[in-house]
Amino acid sequence: MSNLVILGAQWGDESKGKLTDVFAENADIVARYQGGDNAGHTIVLGDKTFILHLIPSGILRPETINVIGNGVVVNLETLFGEIDRLHAQGIAVSSENLKISDRAHLILPYHKTVEQWEQMGSGTKIGTTARGIGPTYADKMNRHAGVRIGDLLEFDNFRKKLDYNLDTKADALQLGGVDRHILLDTYRGYAARLAPYVTDTVAFMHEALAAEKRILFEGAQGTMLDIDFGTYPYVTSSNCTAGAVCTGLGIGPKAIAKVMGVSKAYVTRVGGGPFPTEMHPDLDEKIRDIGQEYGATTQRPRRCGWLDLVALRYAARINGFTAIAMTKLDVFDTLDELQVCVAYRYQGKERTTFPSSLQVLDECKPVYETLPGWQQPLTEARASEDIPQRTRDYVAYVEAYLNVPIPIISVGPDRAQIVTLDASHVNLR
């Protein structure tokens, strides 16, 4: 058994989609367990570019079965849009290769309106993706309001829940854009189209485990956006950490063999919140430009910072990383010096634990170690021998600090631009 979780170690956008795509080659099943269409990744295959927000990335491989687990929140408009686009690009999607949990909650059009309404009334600008993610998870936890995929297949339940929601959310819905009749008609059509995909995914996953299928658990967002452990309230509304694999699919922790965190060689984030290692504006702009750091879902420019080992070790602990894949090392190719944050200075003292209070985090000043840059292009590197010593030293420094191996690095956007430094960590078998 060598089932693998791949998840973001930072604030999302670590290029985990590329890693997931590469590992999907050896997976029988790729399963998503949290988040919704706030995720986004772009996969380039030859002359075709695929953009996926909701469907697991195994969909691009004909033999792979893809699962959307109960922990995911599903926007059907996005789902069908993605299925249609994939069909148009020659990728077949059917009930054979896509299974969706009947327990997953639905993102409905009013959730976006509620999100807008809440944002208007709040002094905290979270800077969400505006996909209705937060209000959908809030409804799930509230229990009266949540609408599950299973309800859609029992349409009277759906109708009742819709009426309840339109009534209790009437204030927000003054903003407009939600019509009961149109919604009912649209979702009646959606219900028929969705039915073949709806699966008891708990039973499916356990049959797969019993048959020793190779399973890849595909994380969305990133550890520092986790609702419990992230920089609350500048987080998403789901648990994005390894524990969510169990609750989001209905499997036990012993079904997980390996947890690979994906971290950039630096840090980026979109949205608000304190960011101790944020770079000086000139360098921030340079890194954003070289690394093309713009949101895949929202196109917003990402804020860039030096690698924060305090935050990364926190992520390694929470998730129990067995390995880390470090991406975008090539973005540093032209820099003569690199900084890594090894501690925070707070009220005159150094600390190496990540605070829960954003006020404390805001006052934390980074303590940096300076390492030499390699000042040569990495983008053509394909084998371990092609990697310059100074790049290895940078990677080794991070490994030693975290006590977690970094067997894989990525040196460019293409599938091929991945270098395995230690093959013993990267097999799915």
Catalytic residue, candidates 41, 53, 105, 111: 41
What gap in Å lies between CA 18 and CA 357, rounded to an integer?
33
Residues 259-318 that bind ligand IMP (CB under 6 A): 270-271
User: What are the residues whose beta carbons fall under 8 Å from the beta carbon of 400, sequence distance 6 or more?
Assistant: none
- Asked if residue 134 binds ligand IMP (CB under 6 A), the reply is yes
The answer to whether the beta carbons of residues 73 and 112 sit under 8 Å apart is: no
The residue among 157 and 298 lying less far from ligand IMP, judged by its C-beta, is 298
Q: DSSP class of residue 28? A: S
Residue among 145, 198, 225, 249 that touches ligand IMP (CB under 6 A): 225
Q: In 3D, which of 225, 260, 214, 242 has the Cα closest to residue 428?
A: 214
| Half-sphere exposure in the Cβ direction for 112 (13 Å, CA) | 12
Q: How far is CA 232 from CA 37, 126, 137, 188, in A?
A: 20, 9, 15, 37
- Asked if residue 220 binds ligand IMP (CB under 6 A), the reply is yes
CB of 220 to ligand IMP, least distance (A): 6
- Is 422 one of the catalytic residues? no
CB of 342 to ligand IMP, least distance (A): 25
CB of 260 to ligand IMP, least distance (A): 17
Residues 13-32 that bind ligand IMP (CB under 6 A): 13
The residue among 214 and 302 lying less far from ligand IMP, judged by its C-beta, is 302
What gap in Å lies between CA 251 and CA 205, rounded to an integer?
8
* Binding range to ligand IMP, per CB under 6 A, among 37-45, 142-150, 338-346, 348-356: 37-45
The residue among 37 and 151 lying less far from ligand IMP, judged by its C-beta, is 37
Question: Which tokens go with 259?
Answer: 């947890």
Residue among 3, 10, 20, 38 that touches ligand IMP (CB under 6 A): 38
- Asked if residue 418 binds ligand IMP (CB under 6 A), the reply is no
CB of 54 to ligand IMP, least distance (A): 11
Q: Which string of DSSP letters, residue by residue, matches 101-162?
A: ETTSEEP-HHHHHHHHHHHHT-S------SSSHHHHHHHHHHSSS--BHHHHHSHHHHHHHH
Q: Which string of DSSP letters, residue by residue, matches 342-386?
A: EEEEETTEEE-S--S-HHHHHHPEEEEEEEE---S--TT--SGGG
- Asked if residue 319 binds ligand IMP (CB under 6 A), the reply is no
- Asked if residue 243 binds ligand IMP (CB under 6 A), the reply is no
The answer to whether the beta carbons of residues 220 and 34 sit under 8 Å apart is: yes
- Asked if residue 133 binds ligand IMP (CB under 6 A), the reply is yes
* Binding range to ligand IMP, per CB under 6 A, among 35-43, 157-165, 274-282, 284-292: 35-43
What gap in Å lies between CA 43 and CA 416, rounded to an integer?
12
Catalytic residue, candidates 13, 37, 226, 284: 13
- Asked if residue 70 binds ligand IMP (CB under 6 A), the reply is no
What gap in Å lies between CA 411 and CA 377, rounded to an integer?
9
- Is 87 one of the catalytic residues? no
- Asked if residue 135 binds ligand IMP (CB under 6 A), the reply is no
The residue among 134 and 261 lying less far from ligand IMP, judged by its C-beta, is 134
CA torsion sign for 305, 306, 307, 309 is negative
- Asked if residue 237 binds ligand IMP (CB under 6 A), the reply is yes
Residue among 15, 97, 129, 239 that touches ligand IMP (CB under 6 A): 129
Residue among 57, 221, 223, 327 that touches ligand IMP (CB under 6 A): 221
Q: In 3D, which of 410, 381, 406 has the Cα closest to residue 395?
A: 406
Catalytic residues: 13, 41
Binding site for ligand IMP (CB under 6 A): 12-13, 38-40, 126-129, 131, 133-134, 220-221, 225, 234, 236-237, 270-271
